[in-house]
Chain A
């Protein structure tokens, strides 16, 4: 019987620079425990993506290779899958989060990215010439942190892979030297639009809370004084720990949350 699969991106790069930048990737251990619990509870196969097909994870970051490996690795494991969610390891899922697979409707399911419109524009503009001045629709820019696919999207990811390897040097130059705004996300977005891939952005917002500081999600209702639960826990399901001034903050915050609420994941 077909099952839904959660492809959890949790590769710990061996690159000393990346390890230092990401605090040895300790946050991944927390994310993994939450998602294992959630998958078990919702009868979803938890598939940890911890080994890339590319041995050099500095030259080929996991944010890229996840798209190339997702179908290959799941099929190699002989899993009879229905839908596949690809989720960043920089996330925590609420213990009672509903099963979002039930809301995916066949298109690529993703979230519109609005949190930092300047960053988004710079990333799109930076790649414009590379994409022959394609008129990108900024209103359709999505985040790559959480996508849901089915088998029909395999072709798009294969095209993305071919594009990546065919243009590797130029993409790396843009990514690392000229633009410096993210890794896969700008190219992924351009190709989605250029190839006319249908995207469903109707999944309710609580399934992707990002930039928690920026939008004051860590606050609680201090005026009523009845409940000190922070708003993100009360009203959100999936928390992306991104957009912090210091990357090191990610582990500290995720760990505090884990220590406070880990009993709910048993």
Chain B
């Protein structure tokens, strides 16, 4: 059984996003990683549910069902955002997981993270205690395996049970979609979580002053996540990075 890199890249779900993200280059870079590390690349090209009903960020938690539906055998599965480029020499992080659920802390604006945690705590997870903010993970890079299947089913079930409230918060408070809920749900379901270091999901790179023409980011880590409102848009930096690395 192979490890799987699973990239949600559904065309047409968000036209602006499609224009500003070089999904093709992300996929090419991950294809290289998979060949080098004997993994399999799986591109999620079709929505499971209508986009207005459930954002793609929530639909990625169907990953194991989708793989099984397509008769893909798997060991561990990475779901990774399509606005990432992986370095050609990136170590095989599947070997670092200890077969636990893995993510990388969400680095960047602590105002955004903490407001998101507090507001979801207030409106959705009222019975729960806040967990340490430094163990809050970014949703764009998550590794899990078969033993997490029931948890992932609970995640999508939770979404449908709370859809209206979640959509209301999503569309009125602007504090993300699945990311904060998944962080709460990981704790509620007592999932053993392993935090990998920044170099495996380098986020908000402008804030860290690492994004520049000199491609300094490629010296500091392995997976470049062009989020956090990179200017002019992720596509420009993805092209620049890819062309220089490959």
**What bracket does the count of chain A residues touching chain B fall in?**
20 to 34
Q: How far is the CB of A211 from chain B (nearest CB, A)?
A: 9
> CB distance B210 to A231 under 8 Å?
no
**Which of B108, B122, B209, B221 gathers the greatest number of chain A CB atoms within 10 Å?**
B209
> CB distance B111 to A231 under 8 Å?
yes
Give the CA-CA distance A221 to B173 in the complex, in Å: 12
A119 within 8 A of B: yes
Q: How far is the CB of A238 from chain B (nearest CB, A)?
A: 14
> CB distance B107 to A114 under 8 Å?
yes
B126 within 8 A of A: no
B132 within 8 A of A: yes
Considering only CB atoms, which chain A residue lies closest to B205 in the complex?
A117
**Please, what's the 1-or-0 string for B88-119, where 1 marks a CB less than 8 Å from any CB in chain A?**
00000000000000000001111110110011
Please give, as numbers and ranges, the residues of chain A lying within 8 Å of B107 by CB-CB distance.
Answer: 114
B212 within 8 A of A: yes
Contact of B110 among A114, A121, A138, A215 (CB under 8 A): A215
> CB distance A121 to B220 under 8 Å?
yes
Considering only CB atoms, which chain A residue lies closest to B110 in the complex?
A215
Given contacts A117-B210, A117-B220, A223-B173, contact A231 B110 (CB under 8 A): yes
Given contacts A118-B210, A204-B132, A215-B207, contact A138 B118 (CB under 8 A): no
> CB distance B109 to A216 under 8 Å?
yes
Considering only CB atoms, which chain B residue lies closest to A141 in the complex?
B220
> CB distance B207 to A121 under 8 Å?
no
Please give, as numbers and ranges, the residues of chain A lying within 8 Å of B209 by CB-CB distance.
Answer: 116-119
Q: How far is the CB of A6 from chain B (nearest CB, A)?
A: 23
Q: Is the interface of A mostly helix, strand, loop or mixed?
A: loop
Given contacts A216-B109, A216-B111, contact A138 B220 (CB under 8 A): yes
> CB distance A223 to B212 under 8 Å?
no
Give the CA-CA distance A234 to B221 in the complex, in Å: 31
Given contacts A117-B216, A204-B134, contact A221 B221 (CB under 8 A): no
Considering only CB atoms, which chain A residue lies closest to B198 in the complex?
A114
Give the CA-CA distance A136 to B110 in the complex, in Å: 30
Considering only CB atoms, which chain B residue lies closest to A121 in the complex?
B216
Give the CA-CA distance A105 to B22 in the complex, in Å: 45
> CB distance A216 to B134 under 8 Å?
no
Please give, as numbers and ranges, the residues of chain B lying within 8 Å of A231 by CB-CB distance.
Answer: 110-111, 114
Q: How far is the CB of A195 from chain B (nearest CB, A)?
A: 23
Please give, as numbers and ranges, the residues of chain A lying within 8 Å of B158 by CB-CB distance.
Answer: none
Considering only CB atoms, which chain A residue lies closest to B172 in the complex?
A223
B160 within 8 A of A: no
**Please, what's the 1-or-0 string for A120-136, where 1 marks a CB less than 8 Å from any CB in chain B?**
01000000000000000
A224 within 8 A of B: yes
A115 within 8 A of B: yes
A103 within 8 A of B: no
Please give, as numbers and ranges, the residues of chain B lying within 8 Å of A215 by CB-CB distance.
Answer: 108-110, 207
Contact of A224 among B119, B207, B219, B220 (CB under 8 A): B119
Contact of B134 among A116, A205, A221, A222 (CB under 8 A): A205
Contact of A214 among B118, B134, B173, B207 (CB under 8 A): B207
Considering only CB atoms, which chain B residue lies closest to A204 in the complex?
B134
**Please, what's the 1-or-0 string for B208-219, where 1 marks a CB less than 8 Å from any CB in chain A?**
111010001101
Please give, as numbers and ranges, the residues of chain A lying within 8 Å of B216 by CB-CB distance.
Answer: 117-118, 121
B199 within 8 A of A: yes
> CB distance B118 to A224 under 8 Å?
yes
> CB distance A206 to B118 under 8 Å?
no
A266 within 8 A of B: no
Please give, as numbers and ranges, the residues of chain A lying within 8 Å of B110 by CB-CB distance.
Answer: 215-217, 219, 231, 235
**Which of A115, A117, A138, A215 gathers the greatest number of chain B CB atoms within 10 Å?**
A117
Considering only CB atoms, which chain B residue lies closest to A216 in the complex?
B111
B197 within 8 A of A: yes
Given contacts A115-B208, A205-B134, A215-B207, contact A121 B219 (CB under 8 A): yes
A2 within 8 A of B: no
Please give, as numbers and ranges, the residues of chain A lying within 8 Å of B62 by CB-CB distance.
Answer: none
Contact of A117 among B173, B197, B208 (CB under 8 A): B208
Interchain residue pairs A-B with the least CB separation, the first 5: A216-B111, A219-B111, A117-B210, A205-B134, A118-B209
**Which residue numbers of A lie inside 8 Å of B, CB to CB?**
114-119, 121, 138-139, 204-206, 214-217, 219, 221-224, 226, 231, 234-235
Q: A121-B220, A216-B110 are in contact. List 15 more A-B contacts (CB 8 A).
A: A114-B198, A118-B216, A139-B197, A139-B221, A204-B132, A216-B109, A216-B112, A219-B110, A219-B115, A222-B115, A223-B115, A223-B119, A223-B173, A224-B115, A226-B122
**Which residue numbers of B lie inside 8 Å of A, CB to CB?**
107-112, 114-115, 118-119, 122, 132-134, 173, 197-199, 207-210, 212, 216-217, 219-221
